[in-house]
Amino acid sequence: MNNKELVEKIEALNEWESILEEAKQEADAIRDEIKADMTDKEIEELDLGQYIIRYTSVLTNRFDTTAFKRTYGDLYKEFTKQITSRRFSIA
């Protein structure tokens, strides 16, 4: 591709990403309205016939890397490995 084609591609990409972001915000707003309604009604599951909506609490256990690193720094270094990845960005 020549420079003009690349600029056109970047502009098209920016436009599509903007549309995606607007759609995501709209979907998030609708999702938040549904969650607020369920919270107000104090229900975790709602059967609507063709849809079942669940808004439940979930307990998870996560490893506290920061605390482990602070307490066992040498052991943390021993089990840490460096990886290579590629990042795409347009400025």
DSSP per residue over 16-78, as a string?
Answer: HHHHHHHHHHHHHHHHHHHHHHHHHTT-SEEE-SS-EEE----------HHHHHHHSHHHHHH
Q: Whole-structure pTM over 0.75, yes or no?
A: no
**Interval 70-89: pLDDT, tens:** 999 999 999 999 999 999 88
Backbone Cα Rg of the chain: 23
Asked whether residue 67 carries a pLDDT value surpassing 90, the answer given is yes
Residue 15 has pLDDT above 90, yes or no: yes
Tokens of 87: 């990042």
Largest CA distance in the chain: 58
**Residue 9 has what pLDDT?**
97
pLDDT for 60 = 96
pLDDT tens digits for range 29-46: 999 999 999 999 999 999
- pLDDT for position 90: 86
Q: Is it the case that residue 18 has pLDDT exceeding 90?
A: yes
Domain ranges of the chain: 3-78
Contact between 1 and 9 under an 8 Å Cβ cutoff? The reply is yes
Q: What's the pLDDT band for 8 if we cut at 50, 70, 90?
A: very high
